[in-house]
Structure 1
Amino acid sequence: MTSMQHPSTTHSNALNAVITSIKLAGFSLFMSLSLASPTQAINSDSHQAVMKDTTPTTPKHGVAMHGDVKYPADFTHFDYVNPYAPKGGTVRRSVVSNSYDSFHPFVLKGVPAAGVSHYLYDTLTVQSEDEAFSQYGLIAEKIEMPADRSWVTFHINPKARFQDNHPILPEDVIFTFNSLIEHGAPFYKAYYGDVLNVSKTGQYQVRFDFKNNKNRELPLILGQLPVLPEHYWASRDFSKSTLETPLGSGPYKIDSFNTGRSISYKRNPNYWAKDLPVNKGLYNFDEIIFEYYGDQTIALEAFKAGEYDFIVENIAKNWATSYSGDKFNNGLIVKEEVEHEQPVGMQGFIFNTRKDIFKDPKVREALSYAFDFEWTNKQLFFGQYKRTNSYFENSELASSGLPSKEELAILNTFRGQIPDSVFTTVNQAPKTDGSGKVRKNLRTALKLLKEAGWTVKNKQLVNEKTSQPFKFEILLYQKSFERIIHPFTKNLSTLGIQADIRLVDTNQYIGRVREYDYDMFIMTLSQSNSPGNEQRDYWYSTNTTTPGTRNYIGVSDPVVDQLVDMIIAAPDRESLVTRTRVLDRILLSYHYVIPQWHLPKQRIAYWKRLSHPKVFPKAGVDFDTWWTNDQ
């Protein structure tokens, strides 16, 4: 399962906002109607369905990945909302990006406007933000599946409506799913790849049958499917981006927009699901406005001037030095640090191993010794951050110490196929004393580079066989990150390596990352408390050449492929944790990333006209639960 990105200091937000989060993500959904009947999914491979569990089943209001759901069938609202929150008022938010050019977030073309998929489209089910992974009914009022999870049936609420009052039917679910699989972004084809077919089984029932019963997460992630209106798209081309106002089923409609500069959403007074328990206390603002700013510094000054109401601060220096003054002292602006229990994932310098220069793990490890986190944290971040040492940092899923007995039972099956260091070495990022003197680390780096076939000639690192100089480019779109990278490139220069910073605009950045057109860039590989199908998009060998996946590194390893399949098939929480830790260890051993830093909290500020519930969910700030005091 994917999750929201933790707001650490990174410039990857623009890309992640477009292609990562399931909760906010778009789907690529164009198909020719001749490709499939309206009640049968495309089945383009030869897999056959497994023997199905015929034990009688009972439709339920919610399902958990492991164990039971927290909330009973008669629950009235989630614990982290204020069910009596007043409705009304306007809230203004910001987006640091050059522009947007599409209201169609379901194709890779274009840059979608902020909020368009989140506020306009309902999903079959919704996730609670205070459980590891549980889904509750939204469009589907009930979920039905056997114990072996070899299929799932969603019972659509007869009251479910699109915003034109057209009923939401099984045909719409099937249309959406078929379109996604046939023409969607590669991530979603992999995400739902274990579905054999989907069919209408009743007036308000749609059933998904699976290729096998090993993917226990699949019924829950199918619930995340946004449902689009087949009748609306019958006369439109899904393959093209557009600024035509779309038809959705969600709590808001697009009210007005200034292309690339702002967009306004108005709450739909006739929203069909406004009184459901999963929506109580949510979507309280009458109007939500997103204002676009091309520069983070300008955006911060605009916030302090009252041009918008809420900000998540991702830059440590700003938090330490810019959130002060009369407006903060007299309480007009409120500062908070919100702790959360969400894995922060791995933020780091991402190597593109498709490039010959970064294919050798020793080279990648060597470059990690040139990054001085301790000095950076002390001098640039005011000591606010912790070093990241896991792809699943800040969670029980992270590996630590030497492998446990349970982990060794898995690792031993891969002996000879993985580095021996996995069994004997605790993999931690290089350390310094924070003084800025990194001579010892650079000596280690040079030793590794020499072992990898590189040598220094005339103060330049060159390949001993080809005399090729060691130089590469670090792709950026956020200028504020340059001050953090410069000390790193300076240390690389001492090694004889030429590392150039390439600053581009948001649209070019997104396009280049989608096509893997970079040597190195900075990204947060976000994770959730319940890793599953999305791991394919990050690590599967089949995604190394397919544009638009999240295998940014270019990982192609049969052991990693097997481990991802094992994680997806984990029968219980204990085995999921063990298998994820093993994957973590193996990924770390190959030095695919130079780990950076994390913060197990969110830094937020807001004007006092806003209020939030007393209790934050375990996942952190959920802005949909907030309200304004202007009524």
Structure 2
Amino acid sequence: MRDIRLQCKLYLPALALGAGLIFAIAGAGAATAEGGDQTYGLAMHGAPDLDRGAAALPYARADAPAGGTATFGATGGFDSLNPFSVRGRTPPEVRAHTIDSLMARSWDEPFTLYPLIAERVETAPDRSWARFTLNPAARFSDGAPVTVDDVLWTLRTLGEGGPPGFRNLWSKISEAREDGPGALRVTFSAPDREAALILGLLPVLKRTEGLDIAAPSLTPLVASGRYVVADAEPGRSLTLRRDPGYWARNLPARRGTGNLDQIRVEWFRDGQAHFEAFRAGAIDIFREGDPQRWAEGYGFERMTRGAARKAEIPHGRPSGMYGLVFNTRRAPFDDIRVRRALTLAFNFEWINATLHGGAYRRITAYFDNSPLRHEGAAEGREREILAPFAAELPEGALEDAWAPPPAAADDARNRRNLRAASRLLEEAGWTVRDGALRDAAGRAFAFGILLGASEEERIVGPFIDALATLGVSATARTVDAAQYQARRNDYDFDMVVNRWGLSLSPGAEQRLYWGRDGVKTPGTRNYAGVDSPAVEAAIDALLAAEGEDDFRAAAHALDRALSWGVYVIPFWFDPVSRIAVDAGLRWPGRLPLYGDFIGWAPDVWWREPAAADAP
């Protein structure tokens, strides 16, 4: 296996000549007349991995058969087909399959882009500007050519009225203009190594006057992706149909992808109904989140007769963060001693053994399971980033790695950790009086846990029971998908369960997750209300890093500052994905490092007419 730093890059082959068998641009690092670099791909650090002779993504089969349908399942519902509205709920398949971006990425490099709508890219050596030349063959699904005007309109529309990530990109741009036939040039207000790549991922929409990009809508946006929306019943089903005139089907970036004629999604009221639909053959794919059911619950007829099969898909991506999120905008969770105490009360070992047969590993940091996880004492560049904030960081943060509470494996009732939690709460001013934990003013320690899925109740139930032994009154409430999303957007909760998927190429999205603007600005993913100068400095360093060593040091600093901040009670992660799938659906034997992730299922899958052995 290659070093994980190289394996976890994101590939998308570059634009091809003729039938699409070779890349359009000769090589990386060619100088332009303005002193910039013109390449066939754009990497965050170093050079792109793919050579000019690549025919397809390394994990796609260039000659994969076309045809057939794959039906996925989901829980909850949707009420919009506009993925850029923060108020609506849009199926992620709409953005993924119907809207192409200027450039494309693959999940086999940390962060590298290859041409798609833009056939060439030039950047300043310090990435202070970028120039994209559009492929003259690029077409929207209605047959209209993709123009520079469309790209500039999309950039401005999303930047002024789209989700926070686009507004953040827009704030970094000092000028965006047409720069010769079929080309646009964007100048950034300050050098930012990642900004050009984020711009390369800009989804391109057809200019539509009067469009309110922030409003939910059931009218599909016109774009240039592999699929178009064929049918949509809000809250029930979505059907995407492959565009037979898709302009990029012979490019290496797209060869062997989008093989299915139709992608369908059916919605179910909860996870059990979702699973039963797979058992009955109503859907083709089920991602199993229960290791015990995976081991014992697949003896039903569809499996035994060979109509479906099981597969475990390994991955090398970071654990990310998944757990109970403290809303630090509210007391008492603005006190780190309280957050530490409640973290001690969560009995991971008992929950993992009882609910999951011990199959999961506890998350020990945000970038756990990767080279970006911080270790030991902060040294060198990592320490340089964090040292100015030493007085604001928790004691010991620079001298040692953060670690979760001691394992309760030899103490099923977690008494040792509960005693430590009680001491921390008392230190924070909470004492038991009249049968409840109260502050100096006599207010009882009580809070609510907002849940979006009934399956989460069995996780938080034991936690609530443990808190009761400390005198803390916690209640869990499961709400429907619309209310759950609305309350998360407005940070209207005390505690919530959330999962942040993190990559081996963290960048500008980290501001959306942890940036201090999200303390008050609705619609970000800073659900915890992180407001930390150390975190801000680490993100700044991450985005400014020019070499791999600086980049890794900045990631370590971010991981350390977040972990020591105790913003989340970590749950667990799994180094494999467990999927049950209809036997007629296949994929190449070569898997991307990120495994069962964006850009793999069903992007590179195909359907065969009869059951076959697993790849």
Q: TM-score, normalised by structure 1?
A: 0.88
Distance 1:590 1:191 in 2: 27
Match of 1:482 among 457, 460, 463: 457
Could you tell me whether the CA contact under 8 Å between 1:108 and 1:185 is conserved in 2?
yes
SS at match of 1:152: strand
Q: Which amino acid aligns with 2:108?
A: D
Give the equivalent residue in structure 2 for 1:217: 194
Give the equivalent residue in structure 2 for 1:175: 153
Residues 69-128 of structure 1: CA deviation (Å, up to 9, x unaligned): 01123321111011111000111111111x211111221122113411222111000111
Distance 2:153 2:481 in 1: 32
Counting only pairs closer than 5 Å after superposition, residues 134-149 of structure 1 correspond to structure 2 as: 134-149=112-127
Give the equivalent residue in structure 2 for 1:280: 255
Higher relative contact order (CA 8 A, sep 6+): 1
Match of 2:164 among 162, 186, 194: 186
Q: Could you tell me how far 1:443 is from its partner in structure 2?
A: 0.6
Distance 1:312 1:286 in 2: 22
Give the equivalent residue in structure 1 for 2:183: 205
Distance 1:518 1:533 in 2: 26
Match of 1:120 among 94, 98, 108: 98
Distance 1:480 1:445 in 2: 27
Residues 587-609 of structure 1: CA deviation (Å, up to 9, x unaligned): 22221111111111111110101
Q: Which consecutive unaligned segments of at least 5 residues does structure 1 have?
A: 1-22, 24-52
Could you tell me whether the CA contact under 8 Å between 2:319 and 2:363 is conserved in 1?
no
Q: Could you tell me how far 1:56 is from its partner in structure 2?
A: 2.9
Match of 1:494 among 469, 483, 494: 469
Counting only pairs closer than 5 Å after superposition, residues 291-310 of structure 1 correspond to structure 2 as: 291-310=266-285
Match of 2:327 among 338, 352, 357: 352
Give the equivalent residue in structure 2 for 1:76: 55
Match of 1:565 among 534, 540, 555: 540
Counting only pairs closer than 5 Å after superposition, residues 500-511 of structure 1 correspond to structure 2 as: 500-511=475-486
Could you tell me whether the CA contact under 8 Å between 2:361 and 2:573 is conserved in 1?
yes
Residues 469-496 of structure 1: CA deviation (Å, up to 9, x unaligned): 0010000021111111111100000000
Give the equivalent residue in structure 1 for 2:28: none
Q: Could you tell me how far 1:330 is from its partner in structure 2?
A: 4.1
SS at match of 2:463: helix
Counting only pairs closer than 5 Å after superposition, residues 86-485 of structure 1 correspond to structure 2 as: 86-97=65-76, 99-213=77-191, 215-230=192-207, 233-430=208-405, 431-433=407-409, 435-463=411-439, 465-485=440-460
SS at match of 1:422: coil
Could you tell me whether the CA contact under 8 Å between 2:374 and 2:401 is conserved in 1?
no
Question: CA 1:434 to 1:501, structure 2 compared with 1: closer, same or farther past 3 Å?
Answer: farther
Q: Could you tell me how far 1:323 is from its partner in structure 2?
A: 2.3
Distance 2:199 2:241 in 1: 28
Could you tell me whether the CA contact under 8 Å between 1:60 and 1:142 is conserved in 2?
yes
Q: Could you tell me how far 1:417 is from its partner in structure 2?
A: 2.9
Could you tell me whether the CA contact under 8 Å between 2:150 and 2:204 is conserved in 1?
yes
Could you tell me whether the CA contact under 8 Å between 1:78 and 1:128 is conserved in 2?
yes
Identical columns (%) = 37
Give the equivalent residue in structure 1 for 2:41: 62
Give the equivalent residue in structure 1 for 2:21: none
Give the equivalent residue in structure 2 for 1:550: 525
Could you tell me whether the CA contact under 8 Å between 2:386 and 2:537 is conserved in 1?
no
Question: CA 1:339 to 1:434, structure 2 compared with 1: closer, same or farther past 3 Å?
Answer: farther
Count residues in correspondence: 575
Residues 130-161 of structure 1: CA deviation (Å, up to 9, x unaligned): 11110000000111112211111111000001
SS at match of 1:513: helix
Question: CA 1:245 to 1:559, structure 2 compared with 1: closer, same or farther past 3 Å?
Answer: closer
Distance 1:526 1:58 in 2: 32
Task: Single out whichever of 338-347 and 485-494 deviates more from structure 2.
Answer: 338-347
SS at match of 1:594: strand
Distance 1:395 1:344 in 2: 8
Distance 1:331 1:554 in 2: 49
Could you tell me whether the CA contact under 8 Å between 2:376 and 2:399 is conserved in 1?
no
Q: Which amino acid aligns with 1:630?
A: P
Distance 2:358 2:391 in 1: 41
Could you tell me whether the CA contact under 8 Å between 2:134 and 2:148 is conserved in 1?
yes
Q: Could you tell me how far 1:535 is from its partner in structure 2?
A: 1.2
Q: TM-score, normalised by structure 2?
A: 0.91
Could you tell me whether the CA contact under 8 Å between 1:342 and 1:619 is conserved in 2?
yes
Q: CA RMSD in A?
A: 1.7
Question: CA 1:239 to 1:598, structure 2 compared with 1: closer, same or farther past 3 Å?
Answer: closer
Could you tell me whether the CA contact under 8 Å between 1:374 and 1:434 is conserved in 2?
no
Q: Could you tell me how far 1:58 is from its partner in structure 2?
A: 4.9
Q: Could you tell me how far 1:404 is from its partner in structure 2?
A: 3.7
SS at match of 1:187: helix
Distance 1:446 1:532 in 2: 38
Q: Could you tell me how far 1:539 is from its partner in structure 2?
A: 1.8
Q: Could you tell me how far 1:434 is from its partner in structure 2?
A: 5.3
Distance 1:325 1:260 in 2: 28
Q: Which amino acid aligns with 1:92?
A: T
Match of 1:518 among 482, 493, 498: 493
Match of 1:575 among 545, 550, 559: 550
Question: CA 1:237 to 1:589, structure 2 compared with 1: closer, same or farther past 3 Å?
Answer: closer
Distance 2:484 2:387 in 1: 41
Give the equivalent residue in structure 2 for 1:628: 607
Could you tell me whether the CA contact under 8 Å between 1:192 and 1:218 is conserved in 2?
no
Could you tell me whether the CA contact under 8 Å between 1:125 and 1:223 is conserved in 2?
yes
Q: Which amino acid aligns with 1:387?
A: R
Q: Which amino acid aligns with 2:558?
A: L
Q: Which consecutive unaligned segments of at least 5 residues does structure 2 have?
A: 1-11, 13-31, 611-615
Distance 1:287 1:435 in 2: 52
Q: Which amino acid aligns with 2:271?
A: Q
